[in-house]
Amino acid sequence: MQQNLATLTVHAGEARRKPYGALTTPIVQTSTYTFADTAEVQDFVARKDAGLPKLREEYGRYGNPTQEAVEEKLAALEGGQRALLFASGMNAITSALLAFLKAGDHLVLIEGCYRRTREFADDYLSRWGVTVSWTPIDDFAALEAALRPNTRAIFAETPTNPYLRVMDLARLADIARSRGILTLIDSTFATPINLRPLEYGLDLVIHSATKYLGGHNDLLAGVVVGRAALLEPLAAARAVLGGVLNPLDAYLLLRGLKTLALRVQRQNETGARVAAFLAEHPAVERVFYPGLPTHPDHAIAARQMCGYGGVVSFQVQGDLEQTGAFMDRLQLPYIGPTLGGVESIAQQQALFVSGDPEKRREAGLSDNLVRYALGIEDVGDIIADLEQALGGVQ
């Protein structure tokens, strides 16, 4: 029976009958798995040498039952054949790029990617002989012009942080597929509830599972989802590089995923209402939200996404100090650098990037930009709090 996403978040990837008759998948908190005798070791090695599916685990860096239940659930949610968990979102990104790129390769990054992804590409991949080009998210002519005979991969993010730009994934996939170029998409802001990039022909989907997938701001994790054969070299790289997710965080992620559909639906609804409120407020200069007709990528988002997400970015009237004063008047959200959890979190993003005004400008961040990552609180309370805080903007 084909199940919808809300049902898959609860049941996919988990055995119907679990150890000890438990309802929840247990935490297998071990680094090592033992063998009963030499014959069992020989059978294990023979199956591995023959490329047969493993029947048991050997060592924590190579697999864990709790982790694998989460991987199967995430593969089902994204419509992929396999998923691989990592110790963080950045570990998923860096491991994937290291696994699929080598000296002499060329990588195209779409502008708007997470700044640490950009930093890894510019400061680390270049050390190892990988060249990197950047192209705008909405200029496909520039993208095609940037491609070279040695272009191995295109890495994009949608929606982007903090301006929530949305890339046309079908066009990206068409361009890359015709040239045999690997496509990787960071879909953290969308979640599989709002967007499933594999359905548009992309090769690999990456999430910082720390955010919406975990949903409770209590774990670090990353995931890569795609075709099973394509993920084989990445699985081998993970075993060597060692960026595995620990069993406790895997369990916390499994628990968080069970409410993903409910949480994202609530955050979608709240995001739409908050964006509409801010768009009409005289103390707000501009709102960035794909659900608004004024957003440059609204038409793409409306065609491609099932919901517009729970992050709203906006510019308030004023400078760095006045925006900071607005932030301090907010009573409901915490101030911090993350998103996607049940608690609302806001940040004056420029301050988290650099204290140097020039570096903030280079990063494309205005001093009066606020990114508000909405939680699951009552939307009326969120808007009332924004109203009182904006009331003090001069």
Q: Residue 53 carries which DSSP code? A: P
Write down the catalytic residue from 114, 163, 308, 372: 114
Handedness of CA 183, 189, 193, 194 (dihedral sign): negative
Active-site residue flag, 203: no
Considering only CA atoms, which of 208, 227, 82 is closest in space to residue 157? 208
What residues does 311 pair with on adjacent strands? 373
Which domains does the chain possess?
5-28+64-257 (3.40.640.10), 260-390 (3.90.1150.10)
The answer to whether 352 touches 336, Cβ cutoff 8 Å, is: no
Q: Please state the rounded mean pLDDT for residues 246-260.
A: 98
Catalytic residue among 33, 43, 47, 61: 61
Q: What pLDDT score was predicted for residue 364?
A: 79
For the chain, give percent helix, strand, coil, nearest 5: 45, 15, 40
> How far is Cα 206 from Cα 126, in angstroms, rounded to an integer?
22
Strands 131-135 and 106-110, sheet pairing? parallel
pLDDT given for residue 117 in this prediction: 96
> Is 359 in the active site?
no
Phi, psi of 288 (to 5 degrees): -115, 105
DSSP string, 298-366: HHHHHHH-S---SEEEEEESS-HHHHHHHHHH--SSEE-S--SSSS-EEEEHHHHH-S-HHHHHHTT--
Q: Give me the pLDDT at residue 241, please.
A: 95
Share of the chain above pLDDT 90, in %: 92
Exactly one of 73, 82, 196, 211 is catalytic; which is it? 211
Read off the pLDDT of residues 6-44 as tens digits, 9 standing for 90 and up: 999 999 999 999 999 999 999 999 999 999 999 999 999
pLDDT interval class at 306 (50, 70, 90): very high
Identify the pLDDT of residue 353: 79
Q: Bin 242: left if φ > 0, else alpha if -120 < ψ < 50, else beta.
A: left
Q: Report the DSSP beta bridge partners of residue 151.
A: 106
pLDDT digits (tens, 9 = 90+) for 92-112: 999 999 999 999 999 999 999
- Return all residues near 298 (Cβ < 8 A) that are at least 6 apart: 290, 291, 292
Name which of 276, 270, 392 is nearest 343 in CA terms. 270
Q: What strand order describes the sheet that includes 131-135?
A: 82-86, 222-226, 204-208, 182-186, 151-157, 106-110, 131-135
> Does pLDDT of 394 surpass 90?
no
Sheet with 345-348: list strands edge to edge.
284-288, 311-316, 369-373, 345-348, 334-335
Distance between CA atoms of residues 355 and 101, nearest Å:
34
Q: Which residues pair with 255 in a beta bridge?
A: none
- Single pTM value for the model: 0.95
pLDDT for the residue 356: 80
Q: Which of 198, 187, 228, 190 is nearest to 84 (CA)?
A: 228
Mean pLDDT value of segment 247-262: 98
| pLDDT of the residue at 1 | 61
Cβ proximity of 86 and 245 under 8 Å: yes
pLDDT band with cut points at 50, 70 and 90 for residue 359: confident
Distance CA 254, CA 223 (A): 13
Catalytic, 43? Answer no
More confident residue, 51 or 225: 225
Share of the chain above pLDDT 70, in %: 99
* Average pLDDT of the residues in 240-268: 97
Could you confirm whether 186 is annotated as catalytic? yes
Lowest mean pLDDT among 45-59, 118-132, 309-323: 45-59
Are 199 and 270 in contact, with CB atoms under 8 Å apart? no
Catalytic residue among 82, 163, 165, 186: 186
